[in-house]
Amino acid sequence: MKFLSYVIVLATTLSSLTTAAAATDVTLEQEVDAVIEDVIRWRRDFHQHAELSNREFRTAKVIAKHLRKLGLEVTTGVAKTGVVGLLKGGAPGPVLALRADMDGLPVVERTGLPYASKQRSEYEGREVGVMHACGHDNHMAILMGAAEILAGMREELPGAVKFIFQPAEEGAPKGEEGGAKLMVAEGVLKNPDVDAVIGLHISQGGEVGTASYRSLGFMASAQRFDIKIQGKQTHGARPWAGVDPIVVGAQIVNALQTIVSRQIDITQHPAVVTVGSFAAGVRNNIVPETATLTGTIRTFDAAVRRSIHEKIRSIAQQTATAMGAVATVEIDPGVPVTFNDAALTKQMVPTLERVYGEGAVFESPRVTGAEDFSFYQEQVPGFFFFIGARPPELSAAEAIPNHSPFFYVDENALAPAVRAMTQLAIDYLNAGAR
């Protein structure tokens, strides 16, 4: 009889908890509905006024004004243009950081959207268009929406939330510092000490209304390489009188393709070596003196990364020497692998499933894109996930990649993303306060 009473009490308790959770979900959904029009407006404003890495001056002012309006403790000028807002809850508890990146890319937008960017700027000595071709406009607007909702329930929250709006995720201009690495160096994870960090990324890789993640190694390590080829200038009609750095560079580009295709066991170690720019010459009938190649390296394994660096140096220098030129190679330290903490991932995935629904949250394969979110994850446990923004009428094969001048998102992806970031924060803080 006592056992039966226990079962009845347990069933009643579980029913009450389920009802309470359902009520909380409904309340949060209402809060998201109340802020979503502003989120879309912020996102379009950021999109129309895209700014390059370490130059996000207007963007920072808009964000800081919003966070101050919410009553947060706001710090500006972190890592040059970064903004950090601190929300203190009504009871002691853990400290969670939520991060969004701020910078656009040197891309001329070709979407034809009514709020398309027409911004122009200078990048590495060249005039360029500026576009949020990687979706950072969405990330900022989503986090601003989550901040507004969480600020409205601050007395119910145990602990604190740091809202990190980070510049230069795409990489600081050559010769400058920036991004997550500089934010960490300037103490963004301190005062108060952050216990965990969560970030997201939008893409057309998933259909709108879906999310994806991967425990442990998720996104690749990335480094930039620069190869400068010193030749000998001459008249284009007498190429034998000089050393053509364009031809040398072409040979180096072709040889670099053999590193991954012929020298790396890609069944075990995915890797990418891409030449992204080749600059040389000013006139059709002059063999120039120099040529410059720049590119990117993507790996998931430290030993493979070191091996690729050595092969790039060897191929560039020996090819140039064989053709009478000189090649110098610079490879920057880049960013580490985006590595999701296994325990934190296990804790947070049920929240994602609660927000997006059964069957809408997927474990992702490894991604050769890179994220400097990895610098935060080197310091504290981190969880990074993707949200789908591909319109339902497009197939996966028709998805437009990030960094394309045609990249756009289905704005129906924004509401569940705001709810996800908000719910992840609530669930993490409540779990840590028990």
Q: Which residues are catalytic?
A: 103, 169
User: Please, what's the largest Cα pairwise distance for the chain?
Assistant: 104
Token code pair at residue 185:
């160096």
* 399 DSSP 8-state letter: P
- The C-alpha atoms of residue 181 and residue 189 are separated, in whole angstroms, by 11
- The C-alpha atoms of residue 357 and residue 350 are separated, in whole angstroms, by 10
Residues counted in the chain: 434
- The C-alpha atoms of residue 211 and residue 198 are separated, in whole angstroms, by 14
- The C-alpha atoms of residue 178 and residue 135 are separated, in whole angstroms, by 19
Cα angle 261, 262, 267 (rounded to 5 degrees) comes to 70
CB atoms near residue 321 (< 10 Å):
12
Does the bond joining 333 to the residue before it have cis omega, within 30 degrees of 0?
A: no
| Side chain identity at residue 246, one-letter code | I
8 A C-beta contact, residue 414 and residue 19: no
Question: Counting Cβ atoms within 10 Å, is residue 236 exposed (0-12), middle (13-18) or buried (19+)?
Answer: middle
DSSP codes joined into one string, 125-153 = TEEEE-B-TTSHHHHHHHHHHHHHHHHTT
Q: How would you classify residue 38: left for phi > 0, otherwise alpha for psi between -120 and 50, otherwise beta?
A: alpha
Cα-to-chain-centroid distance, residue 170:
8
| Side chain identity at residue 6, one-letter code | Y
| Side chain identity at residue 72, one-letter code | L
Q: Which residues pair with 96 in a beta bridge?
A: 161, 196
- Helices (H), strands (E): how many in the chain? 9, 18
